[in-house]
Structure 1
């Protein structure tokens, strides 16, 4: 298709969408942002970053502090509620991770977690996020970087005494049976949970 024709088609689609001839998706149509969204989102993103720095540097005090006192963590090893229980679960898991991620001489590899795109929904003192994450380590040939795992964080947050904390984090691994996301867009489920609370 010539470039001029392609431009005309895109312009027509855009005009029809604006005019309402092509409806916007339900998830997009429901999302609104109030005047505090930017601050709330910044604080939630900082909380998620602190969570990852804490786990990558074995700072378990800082790690459990990202959760509400009755917060919940669900990952491949099970579901754990409360800071003490969460600490016990993740430190036990961390002590065994070297069995799976190690350098060529058998030493535990250096792991780093990274978050990619994240959709965050805020309703008052409650918030939700759907976030893609990846994990990498010096686990490749010659101790080079190798992408280890990847998946989705399904999060619920609560704001207590002016501070956002994780109420529940569900860690999904896309390559583990029964621990992957989909097939539906996870942002839709997040929006539905937020809309249910707002009603």
Structure 2
């Protein structure tokens, strides 16, 4: 188990704020804010591949949102509105470096579905884990690497091992 120092609460609050701003930026198509959540040489590793550099991440996010709009449709055939949520998060902080593991899921207005009994049921569209590395740059926390694991896509699932144990090993090996 990590030892929490006196600045842990402040650092954790700042990192949680970064993660919330990231999700709001993604869901409201604010690609500038989305990209600013990363270091200039940050890495985004997600279902469509790996993108390096803030400017490339900005363009990749824009293109991905356009592609998603052709896949998810609401009942009227319009691009669905997706909303991502972050649930439990474990954050390990060692000086100006941090590691985060958290569960995410997304919901969309592509409508509730009918179950086998003819009842409307809401759906969770996709879900997975974030495996993040962060650094403090000029007093601000930024993602240096964000690995988005997708439990529903072959080859993108989380490992069979507890991802928090994996994160702790990375943090301990970095020191």
Partner-residue secondary structure (3-state), 1:147: coil
Q: Determine the C-alpha separation between the residues in 1 that align with 2:53 and 2:112.
A: 39
More strand by share: 2
SS of alignment partner, residue 21 of structure 2: helix
Tell me which residue corresponds to 2:146.
Answer: 169
Output the TM-score relative to the length of structure 2: 0.93
1:159 matched to 2:136: yes
Choose from 37, 47, 55 the match for 2:18: 47
Q: SS state of the match for residue 55, structure 1? A: helix
Q: Structure 2: state its 5+ residue gaps.
A: 114-120
1:103–1:139 Cα contact (<8 Å) kept:
yes
Q: Equivalent of 1:185, from 162, 165, 169? A: 162
Match of 1:15 in 2: none
**Under a length normalisation based on structure 1, what TM-score does the superposition of the two structures give?**
0.82
Give yes or no for the alignment of 1:139 onto 2:110: yes
Superposition RMSD in Å? 1.5
Q: Distance in 2 between matches of 1:39 and 1:98?
A: 37
**What residue in structure 2 maps to residue 18 of structure 1?**
none
Going by fraction, where is helix more abundant, 1 or 2? Answer: 1
How many corresponding residue pairs?
A: 169
Task: Using CA pairs under 8 Å that are at least 6 residues apart, name the structure with larger relative contact order, 1 or 2.
Answer: 2
Instruction: Flag the structure with larger Rg.
Output: 1
Task: Flag as ranges the 4+ runs of structure 1 deviating above 6 A.
Answer: none
- Pairing 1:57-136 to 2, within 5 Å after superposition: 57-136=28-107
Runs (5+) with no aligned partner, structure 1: 1-27
